[in-house]
Amino acid sequence: MVDSRPKPHAILVCYPLQGHVIPTINLTIKLAQKGFTITFINTQSTHDQITQKNSQDDIFSSYRGLGLDIRYVTVPDGLPLNFDRSLNHNQFMAALLHVFSAHVEEALLKIMESKIDPPVNCLIADSFFVFPGKLAKKYGLLYISFWTEPALVFTLYYHLHLLKLNGHFGCTGKREDVIDYIPGVQSIKPKDLMSYLQETDTTSICHQIIFNAFEDVRSADFILCNTIQELEPETISALQVEKTFFAIGPVFPSEFNKSDMATSMWSEFDCTHWLDLQQHATVLYVSFGSYAHLTKNNLLEIAYGLLSSKVSFIWVLRPDIVSSDDPNPLPDDFQGETHGRGLIIPWCCQKQVLTHTAIGGFLTHCGWNSILEAIWCQVPLLCFPLLTDQFTNRKLVVDDWNIGLNLCDKNPITKDEVLEKIHQLMYGKSSDEFRNSIKKVKKTLENALGDGGSSERNLDNFIRRVCK
């Protein structure tokens, strides 16, 4: 029998931050491989950063050549292209809160009025957007919310009203005892909440985005989450009582480190030759991601601890890691004293580095993509969260899965503790424990993505529901 159901056509709106761009592009390809037509809406700024750094006019051209039906549209985010979004974080977030939705709606309307084939029937958008539910309702589309972080972070935001009600958020004299009333979360300490939920000032632009986004996400028909059912079973089961929630992670390319898909917003330095000269599992990879910033003092303590450790390292040091106004924040003597055992670069292909046999540990900000990639490559983690979900992700890594440890247990950070923790991660009994644990977690990821695995089943179940 011929399947007469219309082919699903989703407009997919990508959140314009590197950590969201990567899984969203991978989700686009995965859905297109499953038969979806996707119209991918990117901001002009993100598009320009990716294409200028990778010499590509259309980031999906190679996959379209393989027969995937992926269409591509760019829209303004509300700010000039040469505006420094990193240095002016609040203005950037304000544009996403107040202006961006109008540009998305204009593009969506143009696509729908063009009588395109197949017709658009659903809207997929990052859960941090504040407008998709309203837009989907207005134009009669299914709304699929894509959550790029763990289910634990989602459910804490989703149950923000309970945190308020119980005095753990948004009130003077916040409680500091353990939180044990969120459905599906056995217990969590206030220090492990996302950074925005630890702040006393809840009037910021980012707080407005969180409040509005999680009001909007309640109207989603389906939620796709870049996590693994077996890693967060209780949290996901509790969420599924309230929402149609599918764990489909890790949302990786079909060949983990061989995709020719351009996803990086920065030029990538190739570290392969340098790594080839290093011994097995002796190099510490250091990266604090694409967006969060370090204080100058913390960076100096990390640098001096790394210097004292005598460990070989690759350090991804973005020019704006402290501030766009301080492009060279390292101590004057650092590069000279680490010459030969250290490589300092502005950006790299992280997957290419993590898969190299010379890498023995990862000093990380605990971004969710970094954690999933490290697990896949079986590289234990040294955790130094800086912003948003990273504090909660750290809890999963250190307390729940035992695949890494904290860089510092007390504030302020000191070079002596940095030295001690680097040695714990790279050498000895604790290092062996982390490596054994991460092998087991890697197997969980492999099983989830394999034939009949939970993530594959969940994705297929989601597609069946959309195509009803």
Residues 436-457: pLDDT tens digits? 999 999 999 999 999 999 999 9
CB-based contact 130:206 (threshold 8 Å): no
pLDDT confidence bin for 55, thresholds 50/70/90? low
Does the reported pTM lie above 0.85? Answer: yes
Taking every pair of Cα atoms in the chain, the longest distance, rounded to a whole number of angstroms, is: 73
Average pLDDT of span 239-256: 94
Question: Which residues are within 8 A (CB) of 2 and not within 5 positions of it... i.e. 6 or more apart?
Answer: none
Residue 306 CA to residue 291 CA, distance in Å, equals 22
Is pLDDT of 371 > 70?
Answer: yes
CB-based contact 77:95 (threshold 8 Å): yes
Is pLDDT of 2 > 50?
Answer: no
Query: What 3-state class would DSSP assign to 179?
Result: strand
CA 416 to chain CA centroid, Å, is: 30
What does the buried/exposed string (b/e) look like for 24-50 if buried means 16 or more CB atoms within 10 Å of the residue's CB? bbbbbbbbbeeebbbbbbbbebbbebb
Q: What pLDDT sits at residue 1? A: 37
CA 190 to chain CA centroid, Å, is: 22
Q: What pLDDT sits at residue 173? A: 80
- Structural domains of the chain in order of their starting residue, each with its CATH number: 9-257+448-467 (3.40.50.2000), 271-426 (3.40.50.2000)
What do you get for the CA distance between the two ends of the chain, in Å?
16
List the alpha helices (DSSP H) in 11-150: 18-33, 44-54, 61-64, 89-98, 100-113, 132-139
Residue 450 CA to residue 455 CA, distance in Å, equals 8
Q: What pLDDT sits at residue 322? A: 85
DSSP secondary structure letter of residue 208: H
Q: What pLDDT sits at residue 257? A: 67
Q: What pLDDT sits at residue 259? A: 60
Is pLDDT of 139 > 80?
Answer: yes
Question: Which residues are within 8 A (CB) of 18 and not within 5 positions of it... i.e. 6 or more apart?
Answer: 264, 265, 289, 290, 291
pLDDT confidence bin for 434, thresholds 50/70/90? very high
- Percent of the chain beyond pLDDT 70? 97
